[in-house]
Amino acid sequence: MGSKSPCLTGYLPESSGLYLHVPFCRSKCPYCDFYSVTSMKEAREWVHCLKREAECYRGFFQTFDTLYLGGGTPSLLNRAQLSEIFSLLHASFTFVPSPEISLEANPDDITQEKLAVCRELGINRISLGVQSFREGELRFLGRRHTAAGAERALEKIRGAGFDNVSVDLMYGLPGQSMSQWLFSLKRALDFQPEHLSCYELTVEEGTAMGRLKAQNRLKLPDEETGRRFFLTTSRFLEKRGYIHYEISNFARSEALISRHNSKYWKHVDYLGIGPGAHSFFQGKRWWNVRSLQHYRALMSQGKLPLEGEECLTEDQLLLETLYFGFRTKRGINLRLLEGAPHMESCAAELEESGLALRRDGRLIPTRRGFLLAESLPLRMVR
Ligand code: SF4
């Protein structure tokens, strides 16, 4: 187990986060790199394995104040499956009163009945994967819903009384103009989402789009275009009152910042269960196998379904703290720079070039600083 300095990680005595990976999708989007299978025939077994996995961690984490059902497509789960999952989680884990409970959903799965089940179970935040309000873009992205379907889903979610809704959108599609992107963004704002995640389309190796790209059959916008989309999005949403609190994430107020995802960026402990899920506990990180079959096989042998683990050294923790810090408006604690003249002078350079500013004892990236978030940590350590 690596040692951990509270100053280094910015660790707060915060409750842990619980992530549950739902490895099912109705169809596979050609850009997506998340682990999922397109058949639900193993769902029953998966739930049994989750129960066993949850039992293995009983008592390991004290309390959870967030639960995130991600995937995959958690909204594919039916009432019986969702109820069983919540029962097994409550049997093994302790939650604080009023935890943030998020469910990722596909617009096509949103029905009044499903929303009623969600509310009964305490789900209080819906993250809707819309991606675009333009039909041609949705088809390009291989999404199974239509723009009208996404609009109906948002209306139903509001109608069911959810007051914490996040909308996922994607920019930087081949040939997409700024006005086409702003069309989707404005349409999303018509529903006044409490939170927005705006991602640039990135194509990973091993995906259907990755193969097209390797064959030169898919041309993505160049870096400069990506920067323009990013800066325009940030200015546009900040002007409308959103806080640009992480490279891709915007919230209507501090209270609406994703409590769960913030744990990843603050090195707060979290447990992930299900195939492909990652966990972090006091400087140690581990991750599960990315195969439902393998996950089931290991669980049935009474083993944890681990693919790998690492204990972070002080140096790795420092680099990650800088990396996560520069991704968020929280920035990094200036105490990190004490006694490190090289880091101090880098911070001064970042300030002079308008990439960061000092506030409340922290070094905070500016909008332009966000664009360089990946490379800033490497500039600071040597
Ligand atoms: S983007 Fe979402 S719905 Fe599409 S394959 Fe990935 S996890 Fe499934």
Residue of the nearest CA to atom 7 in ligand 1? 72
Q: Tokens in use for 93?
A: 């884990």
pLDDT at residue 13 in the model: 65
pLDDT at residue 339 in the model: 85
Q: Tokens in use for 221?
A: 């916008």
Q: Tokens in use for 228?
A: 């323009």
Q: Tokens in use for 53?
A: 């996995």
**pTM for the full predicted model:** 0.95
pLDDT at residue 237 in the model: 98
Q: How far, in Å, from the CA of 371 to the mean position of ligand 1?
A: 26
Residue of the nearest CA to atom 4 in ligand 1? 29
Atom of ligand 1 nearest to the CA of 27: 5
Nearest 10 degrees: Cα torsion 210, 212, 215, 219:
-90
**CB 75: neighbour CB atoms within 10 A?**
26
Give CA separation, 187 vs 169, 222, 231, in Å.
11, 26, 19
Where do the domains of the chain lie, and which CATH numbers do they carry?
Answer: 8-265 (3.80.30.20), 313-382 (1.10.10)
Substitution site in 22, 35, 69, 73 for ligand 1 pocket (most atoms within 8 Å of beta carbon): 73
Single-letter amino acid code for the residue at 287: W
Q: Scanning the structure block, which residue is given the tokens 């891709």? A: 248
**Bridge partners for 362 per DSSP:** 333, 359
Question: Angle formed by the axes of helices 112-121 and 147-159, to 10°?
Answer: 50
pLDDT at residue 379 in the model: 85
- State if residue 34 touches ligand 1 by the CB under 6 angstroms criterion: yes
| 30 vs 32: CA distance, rounded Å | 6
Q: How far, in Å, from the CA of 71 to the mean position of ligand 1?
A: 7
Residue of the nearest CA to atom 6 in ligand 1? 32
Atom of ligand 1 nearest to the CA of 143: 4
Using left for φ > 0, alpha for ψ between -120 and 50, and beta otherwise, residue 276 falls in left
| 109 vs 230: CA distance, rounded Å | 30
| 345 vs 95: CA distance, rounded Å | 44
Element (H, E) at 308: strand 306-311
Q: How far, in Å, from the CA of 63 to the mean position of ligand 1?
A: 30
Atom of ligand 1 nearest to the CA of 71: 7
Element (H, E) at 39: none
382 residues of the chain, pLDDT tens digit each: 333 333 344 444 689 999 999 999 999 999 999 999 999 999 999 999 999 999 999 999 999 999 999 999 999 999 999 999 999 999 999 999 999 999 999 999 999 999 999 999 999 999 999 999 999 999 999 999 999 999 999 999 999 999 999 999 999 999 999 999 999 999 999 999 999 999 999 999 999 999 999 999 999 999 999 999 999 999 999 999 999 999 999 999 999 999 999 999 999 999 999 999 999 999 999 999 999 999 999 999 999 999 999 999 999 999 999 999 999 999 999 999 888 888 899 999 999 999 999 999 999 999 999 999 989 888 888 7
Element (H, E) at 80: helix 79-92
